Amino acid sequence: MASYMTFFPVDNGDMTLITTDENINILMDCNMRKSAEEETNNDYDCNEYLHNNLQTDDGVVYIDALFLTHSDQDHCRGMKEYFNLCAPEKVDDTKIRINELYVPARLLVDTEHKNDDADAIRKEANRRLKLFGTDDFNKSGNRIKIVGYSEELKKYSDLIIGAGKCVKSINNIKDYGAEIFVLRPVKSDTDDENASVNECTASFKISFTISGNTYVAIVGGDITCENWKEVIQYNEDLEFDILLAPHHCSWNSVSTEEVDGGKPDEDIENFLEKSKDKAYIVASSKKIKRNDDNPPSYRAKNVYTKHLNDNGRFICTAEYPNSENPTPLVLKITRQGVSVKSATTSAVKKSNSYTPKSYGIWS
């Protein structure tokens, strides 16, 4: 029995596929680039990977659930191009169907234009919400949940999963092979018009229990340092086996001070220190260089590696297994713990076509 977390090399962006031991596939965020289809381009072809590895239903490739942490382009790029954002009876079989969609409350509350992909997801979310209370709502491809509470959305209270609550089912499947606990956003930020999108980002603790042993992954989106400190305050016993470094290994997630001369936050460092013996920390970012970029920040990387007993457990997606030809990083979770799955088994070569398979990704 094993579960997997696959982190795609999408430069400064997030895209993580969770495959549970119950063969449920959950995608958190998306940064799929059209340029990856070009033979002369080195961008990784995430669309081909998904079509080659996800399950199919009557010829349509599907994901059991898609979680959007927030509406920045680097977390939702490619949604219009590669996913069916429409009623299930109208799907294009060259695109991926989303059986259940999870969107942050802020996406629905804040209706101003962010980017075309975010606008398309909001439109699809509203289509699904209009079906709430009807028989059609319970069809795969129509289901939706809202992450985070807002007064403006209280009529959908049965669909809201607020901070401190667990996702009880995925696409109406209760035993989905993991427990997803919502760490953020809190209501006060969602309803604050002056709060930034990053302050309202959805953050999750994903727990995998295998043969009595539990392993924890944290996906924080673009959470800021102050918000991360708040999560730590409310979850004093929080530790992790896998951490997706927030905001693409940004300095602003580990400190409230300026990069030049600033110090990392003590609460963040104490939190990281608790997991140093077991943790993997993944930076979903471009190659981390000793320069002034932020993100990714070389100084932030140093904060993370300082709190790891093994520096090899800090992995940048743009540099795995090497910076010339990065491929998805797959972390395997078994009763023995977390390990890196061989890079050769997770590579997808560029081709002009793909053949969707009718079985699960790691069957």
Q: What is the pLDDT along the chain (363 residues), one digit of tens a residue?
A: 899 999 999 999 999 999 999 999 999 999 999 998 888 788 999 999 999 999 999 999 999 999 999 999 999 999 999 999 999 999 999 999 999 999 999 999 988 899 999 999 999 999 999 999 999 999 999 999 999 999 999 999 999 999 999 999 999 999 999 999 999 998 888 888 778 888 889 999 999 999 999 999 999 999 999 999 999 999 999 999 999 999 999 999 999 999 999 999 999 999 999 999 999 999 999 999 999 999 999 999 999 999 999 999 999 999 999 999 999 999 999 999 999 998 654 434 333 344 444 334 433
pTM attached to this predicted model: 0.94
In a domain, 143, yes or no: yes
In a domain, 9, yes or no: yes
Pull the structure tokens for residue 134. 């009807």
Residue 158: CB partners within 8 Å, gap ≥ 6? 132
Provide the pairing of β-strand 179-184 with 203-210: antiparallel
Pair 201, 69: CB distance under 8 Å? yes
- Strand partners for 208: 215
Q: From CA 50, how far away is CA 78, in angstroms rounded?
A: 13
In a domain, 350, yes or no: no
3-state helix, strand, coil in the chain (%, to 5): 30, 25, 45
CATH number of the domain encompassing residue 340 = 3.60.15.10
C-alpha dihedral, 282 to 288 to 291 to 295, nearest 10°: -50
Q: From CA 354, how far away is CA 335, in angstroms rounded?
A: 34
In a domain, 354, yes or no: no
- 185 preceded by cis ω (within 30°)? yes
Pair 29, 67: CB distance under 8 Å? yes
In a domain, 353, yes or no: no
Domain that holds residue 54: 3-345
> Where are the extended beta strands (E) located within the chain?
3-7, 16-19, 25-28, 30-31, 56-57, 60-67, 77, 83-84, 96-104, 143-147, 160-161, 166-167, 179-184, 203-210, 213-219, 242-244, 280-283, 314-316, 329-334, 337-340
Do you know the residue count of the chain? Answer: 363
In a domain, 355, yes or no: no
In a domain, 351, yes or no: no
C-alpha dihedral, 110 to 198 to 326 to 313, nearest 10°: -150
Q: For 102, which DSSP code?
A: E
Q: From CA 149, how far away is CA 286, in angstroms rounded?
A: 33
In a domain, 361, yes or no: no
When divided into structural domains, the chain yields a total of 1
Q: What is the CA radius of gyration of the chain?
A: 19
